[in-house]
Structure 1
Amino acid sequence: MGYDSKKAWGELYSGDSPIAYPAEGVIRIFKGTFPALTMPRAHANLSILDMGCGDGRHLPFLSGLGFNVCAVEVSETICSTLRRRMEAYDVKVDIRAGHAGSLPYEDSFFDRLLTWNSCYYMSLSGPRFGAHVAEMARVLKPGGWIVASLPKKTNFIFRDSRASDATGYRIIANDYFGLRDGEIMRCIEDRADLVESFEPKFENFCHADLDMEWFGLPYHWHVFCAQRKV
């Protein structure tokens, strides 16, 4: 049997445990000021999609910044849990089932799209990362911004992984957290590969790197913001 992402993540997110804190990188991008970050600082009344929102950890934060927030996760079961959680936090969010290859929103719907550790999971659509890029661009308004993180090839996620038949993809094995074994993922070779993958739909890239050795786990990530081409 193949990898069942809805089952794997549904089991993780179906409980009633408190949501995690927002990722530090997301906080810095949306609230910080940096010389090479040109994405506009104004957020109030803009629309944003948190694509692959997980346990919902970024949703109260984004709402607090003034965004009109929407979110996507891979199954209706997860979405139902997320709706209950956000009601408890008194956070208004439109939450729908979908994934990077199939987003349940109209063309040019959002001013911003956040894909934090999510857009490179490929089991639901096959090894067609270009289709993920095109779909994320489709729901962004022309001139809107994507905020993204993807694992570097040195990230712990790819440890013990094996090559897929499709170039640029890896099949996960012996995942430290026991969630991803059998999942196929886009494995970015380097920054040039990252830009080449997104450049058909995006421009004005702002790059950052997260390279932490976190108690035996290499947390290595490509981070970038880019603007949808008009």
Structure 2
Amino acid sequence: MVDSKGWEWEKANQSPWLTPTDDVYYLANKWLELGFKKVLDLGAGLGRHSIFFAQKGFKVSAIDISDYGVNHLKEWAKKENLDIDIKLGDMISLPYADNSFDCVIAYHSISHTDTSGTKKVISEIERVLKQGGEVYTSMCSKESWEFAKAGYPQIDENTVLNKEDGPDKDVPHFYANSDDILDLFHNFDIERVRHIDYCVIDNEKQDSKYYYINGRKK
């Protein structure tokens, strides 16, 4: 298993990472209707989703491996007068008790490791979720340019080391296909898996594909 490495947020254009993604509006409504209260933001980054869920009335815990991200979220939560449990930690060993959360959001985070690490992270998500609790997460697709064509150094059959300049340079990225996802999440009832192709972003052509997974712990 490779060592975990967080984003170097100092090198990032932070603006896009301060706005909640479209998906969380749907998730907040769904989870509130289900009576869910306690949510874990796994790989919280700068904290956009932690802030969003706290503002919606959830009891939020957030964890990230980046000192910069954790400190940014603490200052943001203080400014917004929000009570969020914020921890610095590694996603392969979560500092929470079994069955602690109704739901877990892990947006563009659990792929930042190799195959062994990904399996460990998913087992940790399963451990901290209550029975019937839900996970919403994303995974890099093997159809993406970065995996299929970039020629980045390969760590194992599913993992490459990103070499593009930016905040996640030298961060491992695990890539999956639909069969991999069904195998990895075999202890979850999978409600939906979407495969999204980001072909144009801000008028620039892309070849970046991701899976978005919504599952419930059996």
* Shorter-chain TM-score above 0.5: yes
* Structure (1/2) with the larger helix percentage: 2
In the TM superposition, what are the counterparts of 1:1-230 in structure 2 within 5 Å?
5-6=5-6, 8-12=7-11, 20-31=18-29, 41-42=32-33, 46-122=37-113, 127-155=116-144, 157-158=146-147, 160-162=150-152, 164-175=154-165, 178-188=166-176, 190-199=177-186, 201-214=187-200, 215-229=204-218
Q: Label 1:207 to 1:67 Cα distance change in 2 as closer, same or farther (>3 A).
A: same
1:143 Cα deviation from its structure 2 partner: 1.3
Render the CA deviation track for 1:186-228: whole Å, top value 9, x for unaligned.
Answer: 110x2121111111x3223322232221222234211111011
Separation of aligned partners in 1, 2:70 and 2:155: 33
Asked whether the 8 Å contact 1:164–1:184 carries over to 2, the reply is: no
Render the CA deviation track for 1:145-194: whole Å, top value 9, x for unaligned.
Answer: 1011112123355462535242211221225xx12222222110x21211
Structure 1: runs of 5+ lacking an equivalent: 32-38
1:10 Cα deviation from its structure 2 partner: 4.9
Question: What code does the residue aligned with 1:194 have?
Answer: I
Asked whether the 8 Å contact 1:145–1:227 carries over to 2, the reply is: yes
Separation of aligned partners in 2, 1:4 and 1:145: 25
Separation of aligned partners in 1, 2:44 and 2:86: 9
Asked whether the 8 Å contact 2:162–2:172 carries over to 1, the reply is: yes
Question: What code does the residue aligned with 2:38 have?
Answer: S
Indicate the percent of aligned positions where both proteins have the same amino acid. 22
Separation of aligned partners in 2, 1:136 and 1:4: 16
Q: Label 1:160 to 1:173 Cα distance change in 2 as closer, same or farther (>3 A).
A: farther
Superposed CA RMSD in Å reads: 2.8
Question: What code does the residue aligned with 1:11 have?
Answer: E
Deviation larger for 154-163 or 49-58: 154-163
1:87 Cα deviation from its structure 2 partner: 0.8
**Stretches of 4+ moved more than 4 A in 1?**
none
1:12 Cα deviation from its structure 2 partner: 4.8
Structure 2: runs of 5+ lacking an equivalent: none
TM-score with structure 1 length normalisation?
A: 0.80
